Amino acid sequence: MGCGASKAAVANDPLLLDGKGSGQKSGNGPSSNVFGLLSLTRGLTADGAITVGGSENSAGGMYGFDGKFGLAGGENGASGTGGAGVGKFGVGGGGKNGSSSIQPINSESSVKVVTVVRPLMDHEKGCEDIVKILPPGKIELPKKQNGSGTEDKYPFEFDRVVRVTSPEVSKELYAALVLPVVERFCQGFNATVLAYGQTGSGKTYTMGTSCNSKDVLAPDPTGVVPRSLKVLFSYIQIASQTYDIILKAQYVEIYNENVLDLLSTETSGKNGTSKLDIRERPDGDVYVEGACEINVKSREEVARILDQGNTKRSTAAHKMNSESSRSHAIVTLTMEQRAKISSAQKIPADLRFLLSKLNLVDLAGSERVKDTGASGDRFSEGVSINKGLMELGNVINALTEGKKRSHVPYRNSKLTRLLQDSLGGNSETLFVACVSPADKNHEQTLNTLRYASRARAIRNNLRLNNKLSPEEELEYLRTLVQQLQSENDQLKTRLAKTGL
Ligand code: ADP
Ligand code: MG
């Protein structure tokens, strides 16, 4: 196991003891060139604590950022024996006899899907809980009673199915499934967590998108966003010894096929938010043009920004006579890591510059417009709001049809365009399907599970984002050579003084 703290958290984690691993499947992980960073991120825990080193097979003490870049294997990773370490997290590689040649990283990674079943709520009093969970990852819904009175069932299988009945379970869920995604982000890969489900199924609760400063800064925050921030800033604290790190936050909402910047201070736009376009860079990166990207140096700063964004979100929603459940909210963190010149010699050239993006997405309610009883303007609004989800379904279909990918209709909606990398592209992606256990939601729950099981068949192509522009690379190498030159001169002077 990578490290002591992580091992302890994992060993006691019932979610991890029941089969399918949470991270990469065996042998699927990236090869040896990320093990330096992996040895650090192995130490991340859901608490945001980092322990580098400490256990028998620890990555940190023996192989951490001490220039040796050894192995940070998973459960079965063979420390120091070379070859790839695979196991529960299926990561790592190298070690004492590991390959010293740096291979470009390119690995296939399937979209992981977890179904989260929330408890019955007060307004569902009298409803029957119809969800049956069969560990490790199976869930069954009964078929609706048919004419002859016999009952059959709809079975589904996911990477995990969890009843989130307490903050503890929520924390375990995070450690088992979300943490590996955040680790990928720290390692220089793009990553996405997105929550899908009908309104009221627990998407916002799970993602923690509407968290306020208090939630973000709580010692034990709940929700994917606040927890991830805690983990990230712990990582940054340690990794800053080796890298200069810039973290930027962006918060946008897609409503009625318009992209609105929730961090913009501009109030002139319609509804007090500026509408933005989506563009693609020459390297294929899709981004929101002109969206505020704010440099953030602490959790406090991000908390302030999220507060600001959420206030704007609810104000805009009020003006538009809509509810936040009818828009998609996307928090995007971008992290640039550039090896300090003083550490550059200890770091393989492929790991000296890393640029990664983490999308945390709280989708609009997936119920069909006709089920909401909307009419007139509201109906047409609903149609274009659901256009994103409908096109998301079409993208998932196109990606999983089995035949060679022909056309994937990413451009048909703002949502699919923005999530182009997350589904079928360059991203480690976790799809969280949120469902209510109540019998009255049978049809919507069934729709969600069907949608989610299609998403599970998507294969992404993960690629380490480690390329500087030729000009930047040249500048970096020039500074490095200068430093080596000056070290060399100092050594020569010292040798001359000793008279050798
Ligand atoms: P959605 O964003 O999908 O519309 P919410 O996240 O707002 O749904 O959840 C609806 C209600 O259910 C909220 O009051 C929320 O606090 C509650 N809820 C959701 N998931 C859980 C859970 N796992 N445990 C307790 N309450 C939950
Ligand atoms: Mg919500």
- Residue-wise pLDDT tens digits, 180-203: 999 999 999 999 999 999 999 999
**What is the full DSSP assignment across 201-230?**
SSHHHHHTTT--HHHHHSSS--SHHHHHHH
Q: 183 lies in which domain range?
A: 106-463
Could you tell me what percent of the chain has a pLDDT over 70?
Answer: 70
14 lines ligand 1 (CB under 6 A): no
Is there a domain that residue 348 lies in? Answer: yes
Number of domains in the chain: 1
Q: What is the pTM (predicted TM-score) of this model?
A: 0.80
197 lines ligand 1 (CB under 6 A): yes
Q: What share of the chain is helix, strand, coil (3-state, %, to 5)?
A: 40, 20, 40
Is there a domain that residue 168 lies in? Answer: yes
Q: Ligand 1 pocket check: which of 164, 171, 205, 210 to mutate, most ligand atoms within 8 Å of Cβ? A: 205
Is there a domain that residue 391 lies in? Answer: yes
CA-CA distance, 436 to 393, in Å (whole number)? 21
Is there a domain that residue 402 lies in? Answer: yes
Q: Lowest mean pLDDT of 40-49, 115-124, 145-154, 358-367, name the range.
A: 40-49
Residue 255 has pLDDT above 70, yes or no: yes
Is there a domain that residue 37 lies in? Answer: no
227 lines ligand 1 (CB under 6 A): no
- How many other CB atoms sit within 10 Å of the CB of residue 121? 13
- Decide: helix, strand or coil at residue 245: strand
Q: How far is the CA of 137 from the centre of ligand 1 (A)?
A: 22
Q: pLDDT grade, residue 386 (50/70/90)?
A: confident
Q: For ligand 1, atom 22, which residue shows the shortest CA distance?
A: 118
119 lines ligand 1 (CB under 6 A): yes
Q: Six-digit token pair at 175?
A: 């450690």
Is there a domain that residue 10 lies in? Answer: no
201 lines ligand 1 (CB under 6 A): yes
Residue 484, by phi and psi: left (phi above 0), alpha (psi -120 to 50) or beta?
A: alpha
Q: Is 54 exposed, middle or buried (0-12, 13-18, 19+ CB in 10 A)?
A: middle
Is there a domain that residue 112 lies in? Answer: yes
Digit-coded pLDDT (tens) for 441-455: 999 999 999 999 999
Give pLDDT, residue 376.
Answer: 66
Is there a domain that residue 478 lies in? Answer: no
Digit-coded pLDDT (tens) for 225-237: 999 999 999 999 9
Q: Six-digit token pair at 277?
A: 């376009």
Residues in the chain: 500
User: Can the peptide bond before residue 136 be classed as cis, meaning omega within 30 degrees of 0?
Assistant: yes
Q: pLDDT grade, residue 269 (50/70/90)?
A: low
- Decide: helix, strand or coil at residue 295: strand
CA-CA distance, 29 to 42, in Å (whole number)? 14
Q: How far is the CA of 348 from the centre of ligand 1 (A)?
A: 45
Give pLDDT, residue 247.
Answer: 98
Question: What is the average pLDDT across 28-33?
Answer: 34
Q: pLDDT grade, residue 487 (50/70/90)?
A: confident
- Decide: helix, strand or coil at residue 25: coil
Which residues have C-beta under 5 Å from ligand 2, the single-atom ion?
203-204, 325
Contact call for residues 38 and 47 (beta carbons, < 8 A): no
CA-CA distance, 281 to 163, in Å (whole number)? 41
Residue 101 has pLDDT above 70, yes or no: no
State which ligand 1 atom lies nearest to the alpha carbon of 170: 23
Give pLDDT, residue 404.
Answer: 65
Q: How far is the CA of 481 from the centre of ligand 2 (A)?
A: 53
Place of tokens 């999220």: 306
Give pLDDT, residue 146.
Answer: 54
- CATH code at 251? 3.40.850.10
Close Cβ partners of 199 (under 8 Å, ≥ 6 residues apart): 325, 365, 367
